[in-house]
Amino acid sequence: MELTQHSRVAIIGGGPSGSLTAYFMLDIASRLGLHLNIEIFDSSQFTAQGPKGCNYCGGVISETLVQMLAMEGITLPPDVVQRGIDSYQLHTDQGSAAISTPLAELRIASLYRGSGPLDCAKRKACGGAEPVIYRSLDGFLLDLALSKGATLFPTKVNKVTRVGNLPMVFPREMEPRSYDLVIGAVGVNGGGLKIFDESAIRFRHPTTTKAVITEIYLGRSEVDRCFGSTMHVFVTRIPRVSFAAIIPKGEYVTVVMLGRALDRDTVVTFLNHPTVKQCFPDGVDLTARSCFCRPEVSLGTSSPVCADRVALVGDAAVSRLYKDGNGAAYRTAKALATAAIIHGISRKSLERYYAPACRKLSFDNTIGKTVFLTVNLFKWMPILSRGMLGMVRREQSRQDPRRMDMSLVLWDVYTGSNSYKSILLRCLAPRFLLRLLVESIKSLFVVDKAVRAAPVAPPMATEGHGP
């Protein structure tokens, strides 16, 4: 089972994993002189505002992904990137600390997956002015795949079955079509892997949890003034909220929350928390939100991730725990494209040459669970929390790249720039543990006003440049 001249490939889902798989497959095939017919199915309208074109995401692109894409010759255009993020403010119940990019050249991008939020709050504020249409990451990546030669069918797929040896795709309002290879890039929202349920190809769906995303319109000058290029991360004891972040974009800030049974009331409680409120301009109406959604976040791995002539990619296969899902989409897409073209499309080949990439991410997520358990422990142990803040503040004031232990660990935990394995190993280093112990003990004796009520670091004004 191999892809040969004019083999037919269906990719169901035109999110980052689907588009990147198509792009890499066409790229590798053209180098080998192979012509593939790749057809992408997705009904999303990436040029539409609000839910129609949105794939539910915080929209933070790790610097590792920005760099990996750049190495592939894919540069995120300035109209896709809403803002370059070069620092973040960590808020705990014991105070706050600013962490700037540990290695000066690294930068994170904040962007929209669709064409921006529904614009009602903005339009109201501007007396009915025209809404701004932002360029979407997913639209940009899909265009790249199409420019390489893929074809788009703007429709949903209802089911996939097998007829004889070949997988058969049943698109809505189209005749069924058979393919040499079918790739499920369907993510975990909107039905996901259910399309495979009636077929002989059965996948155990990845476990998921609900998150909340909401967009708040402030206007560009207020976002520049209050947030600049700084993202805010909250590891505080707010009821039901285990983690929250505020990500500045062009004229909006995006609030992402994880926790138990999150709803609109939890968002109001969160936004009214004094630590959160101080991040916003005085008197702004935080209830005038432009978009609100409760998407699923992938926590696990599908099992299996491939069968004869069928493979899953991106969130549908495996993601990265609580961060850098788009990085996982890139990694799995590249691994699948290479495995399918070079080694073949039988279950055995895909299992041997593609599945290890998914297992590697899955194993790292297991370590990630330990990392997040530890972070939660800090939340409930003020002495450790103060020790952590003390370490960060000392490192940030010295700016010595060789002594950025805690800053680098926290940077990597929340930005997705490094694997959980590397984070854990650094946390277990004797020097790290000793410094944390010393800072924690010191915090018992020194009433450090700066740690207890650290002001929000003055944000650096940007003009929405790319990273």
Ligand X SMILES: Cc1cc2nc3c(=O)[nH]c(=O)nc-3n(C[C@H](O)[C@H](O)[C@H](O)COP(=O)(O)OP(=O)(O)OC[C@H]3O[C@@H](n4cnc5c(N)ncnc54)[C@H](O)[C@@H]3O)c2cc1C
Residues near ligand X, by CB under 6 A: 12-18, 41-42, 44, 55-60, 156-157, 185-187, 189-191, 195, 211, 213, 256, 295, 297, 314-316, 319, 324-329
DSSP 258: E
To ligand X, the closest distance from the beta carbon of 51 in angstroms equals 11
To ligand X, the closest distance from the beta carbon of 67 in angstroms equals 14
Residues of the chain by 3-state class (helix, strand, coil), percent to 5: 40, 20, 40
Nearer to ligand X, 61 or 451 (CB): 61
Nearest position to ligand X, beta carbon? 325
Q: 69 is written with which tokens?
A: 């894409």
Per-residue burial over 443-460, b if 16 or more Cβ lie within 10 Å, else e, is: beeeebeebeebebbebe
Nearer to ligand X, 315 or 395 (CB): 315
**Alpha carbon distances (Å) from 198 to 161, 195, 297, 316, 407:** 7, 7, 24, 17, 49
Q: 20 is written with which tokens?
A: 């990147």
To ligand X, the closest distance from the beta carbon of 284 in angstroms equals 23
> Whole-angstrom Cα distance, residue 143 to residue 150?
9
Nearer to ligand X, 64 or 92 (CB): 64
To ligand X, the closest distance from the beta carbon of 432 in angstroms equals 27
CA 297 and chain centroid, separation: 10
To ligand X, the closest distance from the beta carbon of 242 in angstroms equals 13
Strand partners, 162: 167
Nearer to ligand X, 40 or 451 (CB): 40
> Whole-angstrom Cα distance, residue 251 to residue 216?
9
Which residues 6+ apart lie within 8 Å of 292 measured at CB? 212, 213, 214, 264, 267
To ligand X, the closest distance from the beta carbon of 261 in angstroms equals 15
Residues 59/82, Cβ–Cβ less than 8 Å: yes
To ligand X, the closest distance from the beta carbon of 193 in angstroms equals 9
Nearer to ligand X, 213 or 226 (CB): 213
Nearer to ligand X, 44 or 349 (CB): 44
> Whole-angstrom Cα distance, residue 96 to residue 235?
10
- What is 361-421 written as a DSSP string? HHHHHHHHHHHHHHHHHHHH-HHHHHHHHHHHHHHHHH--GGG-HHHHHHHHHHH--S-HH
**Cβ neighbours of 312 (radius 10 Å):** 33
To ligand X, the closest distance from the beta carbon of 139 in angstroms equals 10
The position carrying tokens 């010191």 is 442
Nearer to ligand X, 14 or 50 (CB): 14
Nearer to ligand X, 188 or 454 (CB): 188
DSSP 72: T
To ligand X, the closest distance from the beta carbon of 57 in angstroms equals 4
> Whole-angstrom Cα distance, residue 185 to residue 329?
9
To ligand X, the closest distance from the beta carbon of 152 in angstroms equals 11
Nearer to ligand X, 55 or 443 (CB): 55
CA 91 and chain centroid, separation: 21
Nearer to ligand X, 209 or 346 (CB): 209
Residues 330/65, Cβ–Cβ less than 8 Å: yes
To ligand X, the closest distance from the beta carbon of 346 in angstroms equals 23
Catalogue the E-assigned strands of 218-286. Answer: 230-235, 241-248, 252-259
Nearer to ligand X, 319 or 396 (CB): 319
Q: 238 is written with which tokens?
A: 């707010």
